[in-house]
Structure 1
Amino acid sequence: MHILVVDDDPLAGEMTAALLEAQGHQPLLACDAMEAVEQLDTHSEIMLIVSDMHMPLISGLALLEMLREQGNSLPFILLTGDTPDAALQQTPGLAACLRKDAELMSTLEQAVNQALDLHD
């Protein structure tokens, strides 16, 4: 399964990609929203997007809104260093909002499986 990982922090992006790879997925990396759009245009096999929330210029939430406006309905998981509030969790079109913490390996795997099950 091809999954696009969007993160302006190269180390964090690599860590997220490594977690996804360990779960049997094929991650593609993008360092910002514009590169994410390019990757989506280039790789039609992408089935899911995992994006950092806090990025310069275009945040992960703004990327989600931009993609939805363009008619892109791929499942979208948001990662944040903060504790996600209830309003954020209820964002339309968002499959999950996860905290970047010690539990990320298990919470990310669970969220990816749920997002892909719902999308099928």
Structure 2
Amino acid sequence: MPILVVDDDPLAGEMTAALLEHQGHETLLAIDAMEAVEQLDNRSDIKLIVSDMHMPLISGVALLAMLREQANHLPFILLTGDTPDTTLQQTPGLHACLRKDAELASNLEAAVKQALDE
């Protein structure tokens, strides 16, 4: 069952996918929120969404809100280049908000495990 990686930067999306694949997960890539919704509509086997926060048109936070409005309750992990603040980390429906830094590999592995175990 794949994890959907959403990132408008192809290199960053591929890096995130590579980290997840190294941890034994199958991944799908989407370059924006609209492509992510299309993937979700076409694939019922997706088990988790990992999204970049800063994307043009529809941000990762807006994607999460849109999915929750559509009664999609898949676990959702947000990645950001910024330091996540407390308000962001407490966004309803968000399982984790991780900074894209040197610890991303280990932090992402722990967040994915926790999100899938809930």
Segments of 5+ residues of structure 1 without an aligned counterpart are none
Q: Percent identity over the alignment?
A: 82
> Deviations along 1:28-50, whole A, 9 cap, x unmatched?
00000000000001111100000
- The amino acid across from 1:86 in the alignment is T
* Structure 2 counterparts to residues 63-102 of structure 1, below 5 A: 63-102=63-102
Segments ≥4 residues shifted beyond 2 Å: none
Give the alignment's TM-score, normalised by structure 2: 0.99
How many residues matched? 118
* Structure 2 counterparts to residues 99-110 of structure 1, below 5 A: 99-110=99-110
1:18 aligned partner: 18
Cα RMSD over matched residues? 0.4
> Deviations along 1:13-70, whole A, 9 cap, x unmatched?
0000000000000010000000000000111110000000000000000000000000
CA distance in structure 1 between the aligned counterparts of 2:27 and 2:102, rounded to whole angstroms? 20
2:111 aligned partner: 111
2:30 aligned partner: 30
Deviation, 1:89, is 0.5
CA distance in structure 2 between the aligned counterparts of 1:43 and 1:99, rounded to whole angstroms? 28
CA distance in structure 1 between the aligned counterparts of 2:74 and 2:11, rounded to whole angstroms? 25
- The amino acid across from 2:63 in the alignment is L
1:62 aligned partner: 62
CA distance in structure 2 between the aligned counterparts of 1:52 and 1:63, rounded to whole angstroms? 10
Give the alignment's TM-score, normalised by structure 1: 0.97
Segments of 5+ residues of structure 2 without an aligned counterpart are none
Deviation, 1:83, is 0.1
